[in-house]
Structure formats: structure tokens, C-alpha cells
Structure 1
Amino acid sequence: MAAPFVDTAKITVRSGNGGNGVVSFHREKYVAAGGPDGGDGGRGGNVVVVADDHMSTLMDFRYKRKYVAENGMDGSGKRCTGKNGTDLVLKVPRGTVIRDAETQEIIQDISGDEPFILCKGGRGGWGNQHFATPTRQVPRFAKAGYPGETREVILELKLLADVGLVGFPNVGKSTLLSVVSRAQPKIANYHFTTLFPNLGVVYVEEGVSFVMADIPGIIEGAADGAGLGHDFLRHIDRCRLLIHVVDVSGSEGRDPVEDFEAINQELRQYSPELASRKMIVAANKVDIMQDPELLQRLREHVQAQGLEFFEISAAAHQGTRELVKRCAQELQDLPPVAVFEPTYVERPPEVDTSGEVSIEQFDDTWVVEAPWLQRLMANVNFSDYESRSWFDRQLRASGLFDKLEAMGIQDGDTVSLYDLEFEYQR
């Protein structure tokens, strides 16, 4: 039994925490007052997503839903930095779109070869070597590492194909794909033989080829979730050209014109932009046609809409060569396969600043630590004025400055927040 096709998956990913900095002092014979030499913590591992051309489904993500990168190692003496956490590399089929699970916004389209960092590892904490100053020669404190990022995302596979075959079940799409390419889809004379999309490379002539996708048969109501079509309509989102395959044999007592319009209606309902895409109509099974009137009615109906019309028999290899040549000509003038632009906007974190705060005084230095402060600082770009202003407002709203003043902080004293230090001014 073939493995089921999986084209969506919801997973949780978390990058590694940064390692902690260490408090250490140089100890060596004949070296007096060696000074602080505590090393920094290592960076936590990133969560990296890469395209893998050997994968065709998201099956690997069906059962395992949580992925965590390695934490960074703590620093050590002699100014030794801790080892960085190993990056966690997630391989996905080319064409996978990553969405934010909550907002459904696109974070990244994994269609190219560049790795994408989905979650950045936490920065390592500073060792006490960084906190030595002319007036603070024996810093007895270091900083904890920053926590990694956590995201809940939806992976959605949208096939990368130039040409998509659409039409009702059992009209001969799989047969057509097998005839014009080396793909070997399952073919049988019953509805829904194709349970998942199939891809094939069509070689037209030397240096000319394109990718064709056989999309599982769409039925009426597919855009509302009926049948298999709703699950797989997304796979023709990228197709530059559509071949609408219609059965004109009359063997099942169906009206080709009604079938043609029903599928177009589903496409329009799913995506008006998709329905307006370039389309070629292929009247299939002409070799076993029982009523030529059906073919003539469909031809007149299609040509009245300005669409190109081909008579073919995929099973008998009749007209298929002319069809793929015409597809290749059309593709030369059509824009490249669409890549979905990111729509996700990073939002300021909602951090509860009411938690406990640890404040220690070392001479004129006030060392502040709190789990919520780590999360807050991990999302601040200190090179950006607006981001710094937002951070200052968050600190004031948390009551941190009020606590420092109540403990006796003076103007000009140093406030140490992890890897940030500044002079306090009322």
C-alpha cells in the first residue's frame, strides 16, 4: 500500500538557548591579580529550512510535530567561549510555503536553494571578562544566555510546475502525463485513481522541456471542500499554464460543455486570479467517441471564449505531440513560476513584565536579571532608535526604574542588563 500524500503539516519549532557566561579569574603562578577571564556562552543552534528535491510530500512531519535545536554550551575560564549549539536543519520539498499558524501570513516560500533561518538561536551570555573597567576591576558577575525563539508554523506544499492538468476524475489526465513524460502515475478506469499530485518532466526537443503536474480530479463543490479537489487546488496556484482535459467520448453519459463550465466555476470560486490564467482545452478520448456532436458542441463553446482547442487521445498517443509543442511555445511568453512573497510582519513581543526581578549592587554597578527581561531584549534592535525607545518605555512601565531608585541608585551609576550597559539618568 502506497504511503499517503501529505501536503500540509502543523509543527512547533524552537531554536537553542544561548549558553551562560561564567565568572572566573586568572590564576597562574607568579602572575598577581590576573584579572577576570570568564568566557562567553555559545550561541544556541538555529532552526534552518532547506529545499530537498528528493522529497515530494510532507510525510516526515506527519507524526513528529516538535523540533528543537541544540543549546549553546556555557563559557569557561581562560576566556574560553562555549561551543555553539548545532543548527537543526529541516528538509522540505521544494515549493513548500511556511505560514504563521496564528495569522496565516507567509513567512517564507522555500522555492530556491538558499537556506532559510526560521528561528534564530539565542545569543550566548557574557562572561565577567566583559565587565572589567578601571573602577570595577573584580567583576563578580556574568550573564545568562538568551532563550531561543519558538514558533508554531504551518508547512503547505504548493507544487512547482509549469503546466497543470485540470478536469473531472477519470478524464485521462494521468494517462496524458504518462504519455508525454516519464512519470508513472497509477492509472485505472475508476474515479479518484489519482489520490495525490504527480509530476513529470516533458522533453519537447533538445534544450526545451517543462514540468507538468497531474492534479487529482476536481468535482463540483471542490472549492467548498467536497471531494479531493479542495485539498489539491493549491498545487495549481503556481502553474503558468493550465490544460483543461475534457472527456468527449460520452462513455459515462456526461455533457462535455457542462463539465468544462463546472470545473471553471470551481477554479473561479477558489481563486479568480487562477481562473484567469492562460488555458488550453484538450478534448480527450476522441478515438472512442460515440457522438461527434459532443465534440463539436465543446469546440464551438471553447473557441467562442477565445481558447485554443486540441483533439487528443492520450491512450492512443493521438494529438499529444502537437499539444506539448504548443505548451512549450506558450511557456516562452509566460512569466516564470510564481514565488510567494513573505507577508508576515514581525510584531513586538507581548511580554509580561510583572514577574520577579533580581537586582544586585556591585559598587556603582546595578546588575538586573529577570526571565521576562531576556525575552524582551531578544526582540530589540538596539541600533534602531524606535526600537530602543520602545524598550525604554517597556522598562519604565514595568516599574524597574522605580525599584532601582527605591534601592538608592544614583545618577551616573551603571545599569547592567545582560549584554547591555548604560549610565542611569533620572
Structure 2
Amino acid sequence: MRLSLSLSAAVLGLASLVRASNVIDLDTKNFDKIVGGSKGGSLVEFFAPWCGHCKNLAPTWEQLADAFPSDKVVIAKTDADGVGRELGTRYGVTGFPTLKWFPAGSTEAVDYTGGRDLDSLAAFVTEKSGVKSKIKPPPPPAAVQLDSSNFADIALDESKNVLVAFTAPWCGHCKNMKPAYEKVARAFLPETDCVVAQMNADDEENKPIASEYGVRSFPTIKFFPKGADKEPVMYSSGRSEEQFIEFLNENCGTHRSASGLLTEAAGKVLPLDKLASSFFTASLPERPAILDEAKSYLASLSGVEKKVKDSAAYYVRAMERIVEKGEAWLTKEQARIAGLLASPSLAPTKLDELKIKANILSSFAVQKITDLYEAAEEAVEGAGQVVYEAAKDAGHKIKAEL
């Protein structure tokens, strides 16, 4: 008796673990009633029990059915190689799985050709039915989304460098690339003239654009450089985050790191960098002449980007402050900027501005530090030579005494 009760409890326990499925099974007897009577529409999977792709889709299909109220939207399946074979023939099913959408109250099918991940499927059902899913929406993409309505305005903008990834929702390589591509897009958000974009090139409305630019496989990545000649360049480097960033920095003239912060080279102007080093190591009477040289260089800049002029102006401003207030100003200003950079609440534009200033100020002290290091190195070498000569003399004396 006790054994019987134990077995019963075990069976009940196992039964409680088996959750009822919200996916509706269809056959020729109930298809028209359920699909034709749906209030919001029906998404039906035509599958075969032996189909590997169908087995892979099964967990996602269950999640999709759980995401929508069953009294408003029907998520269903039918064995088109078994009880639903007649339905498969009726709707021209030639491969598995085949997914078809049936509008509310209709048995007229619309082919589903989008991605088979949960987010893509749920977005499609919501778009067609107007019913929201219970799935928490993913964050908006960092990459600028292009389509036939905005491609020319963004990708062909003569004032911008634009990297475009032509992708397809079903493409496995595109899915693998997406995390790295999104990180890069997020890192370059502060760069208004270096845009990271993406286009669903398999969308019917976007296919003519993809064809125009020779897109024959996915992902295809092309770089549209700024300027009147917007002839795209094929991107043929690797698809890691670091490789994308290296390409963009080289072709956009930017200095971004994977974190989105600027690198140590950002804001540097080479001719002024050299003057800054000379200025800081020069004697006090020599500094005004170097400052005048820096001002002349600044005045000669024409036809360059505003950010280059702004950087050049800061070199001159720093020299003026050092002339007025002495080298103590440089130390205090570097400490002040370092403190501000440590603040977690800085806006990205302010963070960039401060980082560029910090980079420029570092140019003033580098040469002096190098000179001090070399002087110390020479002193150590000189001391070593003195010790060597003393040891040599002592050796000769000992040898003479012996």
C-alpha cells in the first residue's frame, strides 16, 4: 500500500513538471475552424517529425506561443508529413519547416520569410496582429538602421564616412557578427561624421539597393567615404571588434578605443606637438618666440576640420598660460582634468573634450621627462665607468704588491 502511494506521488510529481503546451496542433478536421476563427491571426508551422531544423525550432515555437494570449493570437503547428499532409499540399509546402501567417478570420496564407529567432518571430506577429507580446523588447540597436527611405540621406551624405553592413535576418554569420558590430557602433556614437550602419538587404523594399551595390552574400560590408565621390570600398578585414575599430580609425581619421573612449593620440597635432616639447624644455626668454611660432601655425590653418583647429588653439592657449603663470599652471590643470575625467556622470562630448586636453597637455612634459631620463641614464653609465676604473686601479696595485 505504501509503495503504491509512493508511486502515485511520483507520477503526480512528474505530471506537474510536464507543462501544457500553448502551441495548438492542427489537422484537416480543426484547421479551418481554429485558423479561420482567430481574432488576431495565426502563425502556423508546417513541420515533419524527422526534420532537424524543425526540432531546433521547437523550443522557440513554444516560447512564442507563451508570449501571446491564446484567445487573441494562434501559434500552431501541423505535421505536414503526417496528419497534416493534405494541408501541406493545399498550401504548397515543399520544405520543412515552412511558416505561414493567416490574417484574422482568414485561411488565405502569407509566407513568413523573416528570422527564426524569438525576437524576429514575436515582432512579426505583433506587426501583423497588433497584439503585444509578453517578451521584454531588446534595447534599440546602436547601429543606424538603413532602409530604402533613408539610405541615400545617410550612406551617401558627402559630409559623413559610413560603414554599412548589408545583412539578412536568417544569416548565421550576420548573427555571429552582430554583438561585435553593435559594440563598435556604440563606441562610435560620439563621432558624428563616422557612422556605423546596418541594412536588412533581404527585405523586398531594400533588395534593389543591395543589388545596385553588388550585394550577393551576407554579410557584405562596404565603406562609403565622405566627399563628392561616394564610391564604396569593400570591407575585407576581419569581423572582430578590434578589427572594425582599427579600420574605422584609419579611414575616418578617428582615435576611438573599444570602450568608446578616445585614445592617447586623440587631439594631437604633430607640428604643435613638437613645438610644445621644445617650449617646455626651452629657457624662459626663449618661450615667447616658440609661442609666436605656434600662433603663426594656428593662423595658417585653413580648410581643415573644426576639431583640428580647436585642438591647435588649445596648444596655443596652454603656452600662453604657462608664460603667464609658470609651469605650476600645467601641473594644476592636469590634476584638475584628471579629477573631472574620473567623474562617472560626464556626458560623452565633455569626456572627449577633456581627454583631448589631457592628451595635449601631456605633450609639454614628455620631452622634459625624456631629457631627465637620458641624463639619469648617462649619470648611471658614468658612475659605472668610475667604479670600473677604480676597481681596475686597485687590481693593478694588488698585483704589483704580490
Q: Give the TM-score, by structure 1 length.
A: 0.26
Q: 1 or 2, which has the higher strand percentage?
A: 1
Q: 1 or 2, which has the higher helix percentage?
A: 2
Q: Give the TM-score, by structure 2 length.
A: 0.27
More relative contact order, 1 or 2 (CA 8 Å, 6+ apart): 1
Structure label with greater radius of gyration: 2
